[in-house]
Chain A
Amino acid sequence: MLLLVLAAVAVPVGIVLALFVAPVEAFQGEPYRILYVHVPSVATAYLAFAVAFLASLAYLVTRRPRFDRLAATSAEVGQVFLTIVLLTGPIWGKPVWGVWWTWDARLTTALVLWFIFAGYLMLRAWSGAQGARAAAVVAIVGFLDIPLIHWSAVLLRTLHPRPTVFRPEGPALPSSMLVILLFNIAAFLLTYLAFLTARMRQEAARERREAGTP
């Protein structure tokens, strides 16, 4: 509940900051502001899938239902954020690059990953409890596939801007932008946690109710 309130406050604040407080970018102009939604969504989505990966491993090893629930809900919430990434990306790309889409490494990886977890969610929806172990394997190989997808697309071509934040040398954004970006990342992570815990409680209640019926 507290998480939900915090997230509900942090996200609008972050959006106001992004739209009105952040300075205008030199080369891209106003459209760059979508970065404050796009980048936090990317970070949250990949984190969510990493959690799903680890929870799936834990489930296969320990067989505790809690881990299976965590994997499923984290994948579900992650998929929502990844969808936001794939929608905001082209909206940003069209005015700035002139095209809606390219087959650059980052875009290809995000899109293929979206399909992998769409398949994962379909598998869960159609197989129920028996599908839990199969789903865990899909989440595991799906996550491990990420560097391979990226690498395969790099071997083909690359256009996405070089990283300006997540780089080994440290971020290249001016601090005014970086602060707002970090705030938005935190707001999105709060949202992820709020959804995750709410869904986990929901799934636990559903399982208890199903176990209760003869």
Chain B
Amino acid sequence: MSGFWALLRKDLLVESRARDLLPSMAVLALLLLAVTGAAGVGAPGAPAMLWVTVAVTCALGLLRSFQQETDRDQLHGLRLAGVDPAVLYLAKAAANFVVVATVEIIALGAVTVFFGISIPPRPALPAVLLLGTSSLVASGTLLGGMLAASRMREVLLPVLLLPLSAPAVIAAAGATARLLSPEGGSVAGEIGLLLAFTTLFVAVAVLVFEHVVEE
């Protein structure tokens, strides 16, 4: 597991120096929210728009995290260094989580402004945000790794990630809507679903990652 921290540190370091993934994803998210707000989507649509935006942004941005590794055959180097593919996945997913969570916080800020909503202080809300992020990142990192060597990856990642992550987006949007409403309510079902979704994808990824990441 020491490999995990080294890989995570490397990815975050690369991103902090290159500064291309986070800004481009953030700008894309803000753009989507701005256009939909301008086009007439109001406060009732805000929770759904937040999550669709984060999902689309992930679908377009997460390829980047593996493209670094295929550009110059770094994956080979990592394998030769004895890195367990499951650890590689977990480290990539953790790095992606940091990036996507940051984008999401920015997006949430934009949503309050563009759609005119306020955020009641409900403890379940951060849980929904975290688990929604983990769901998108768990599935997006798995697919990103699988598609890194494919020539149609820019089209295939959104085409595959969006339907596969649909239950997470639906659950997160529904829970966010309930938590932002004045009455509030229980989101235990949605949280359970998001937890199940994240667990499913992490489990599958850990089991199959070495078989699907190729040159």
Smallest CB gap from A151: residue in B: B193
Contacts of A130 in B (CB 8 A): 149-150, 214
Stretch at the interface among B31-39, B110-118, B154-162: B154-162
Whether A152 pairs with B163 at a CB distance below 8 angstroms is no
Q: If A112-B166, A141-B164 touch, does A155 touch B189 (CB 8 Å cutoff)? A: yes
B170 at the interface (CB under 8 A from A): yes
B13 at the interface (CB under 8 A from A): no
For the complex, would chain B's binding face be called helix, strand, loop or mixed by DSSP majority? helix
Which of B150, B170, B189 lies in contact with A126, CB distance below 8 A? Answer: B150
Q: If A126-B156, A137-B204, A152-B171 touch, does A119 touch B146 (CB 8 Å cutoff)? A: no
Contacts of B149 in A (CB 8 A): 130
Contacts of B162 in A (CB 8 A): 115
Stretch at the interface among A142-150, A166-174, A193-201: A142-150
For window 106-121 of chain A, which residues contact chain B by CB distance below 8 Å?
108, 112-113, 115-116, 118-120
Whether B160 pairs with A119 at a CB distance below 8 angstroms is yes
Whether B170 pairs with A152 at a CB distance below 8 angstroms is yes
Q: How far is the CA of A151 from the CA of B197 in the complex (A)?
A: 11
Smallest CB gap from A150: residue in B: B167
Whether B204 pairs with A140 at a CB distance below 8 angstroms is yes
A123 at the interface (CB under 8 A from B): yes
A138 at the interface (CB under 8 A from B): yes
Q: If A126-B150, A126-B151 touch, does A137 touch B208 (CB 8 Å cutoff)? A: yes
Q: If A122-B159, A134-B212, A137-B204 touch, does A156 touch B174 (CB 8 Å cutoff)? A: yes
Whether A152 pairs with B167 at a CB distance below 8 angstroms is yes
Q: If A133-B212, A137-B208 touch, does A145 touch B167 (CB 8 Å cutoff)? A: yes
For window 110-150 of chain B, which residues contact chain A by CB distance below 8 Å?
139, 142-143, 146-147, 149-150
For window 174-215 of chain B, which residues contact chain A by CB distance below 8 Å?
174, 189-190, 193, 196-197, 200-201, 204, 208, 211-212, 214
Q: If A119-B156, A152-B193 touch, does A134 touch B200 (CB 8 Å cutoff)? A: no
Whether A116 pairs with B193 at a CB distance below 8 angstroms is no
The number of residues on chain B lying at the interface, defined by a beta carbon within 8 Å of a beta carbon of chain A, is 34
Whether A123 pairs with B212 at a CB distance below 8 angstroms is no
Smallest CB gap from B192: residue in A: A151
A binding-site residues for B, Cβ under 8 Å? 60, 108, 112-113, 115-116, 118-120, 122-123, 126-127, 130-131, 133-134, 137-138, 140-142, 144-145, 148-149, 151-153, 155-156
Report 28 cross-chain contacts, Cβ distance below 8 Å, ordered by A residue. A112-B163, A115-B163, A119-B156, A120-B160, A123-B160, A126-B156, A127-B150, A130-B150, A131-B150, A133-B208, A134-B150, A134-B212, A137-B146, A137-B204, A137-B212, A140-B204, A141-B139, A142-B164, A145-B166, A145-B200, A148-B193, A148-B197, A149-B166, A152-B190, A152-B193, A155-B170, A155-B174, A156-B174
B binding-site residues for A, Cβ under 8 Å? 139, 142-143, 146-147, 149-152, 155-156, 159-160, 162-164, 166-168, 170-171, 174, 189-190, 193, 196-197, 200-201, 204, 208, 211-212, 214
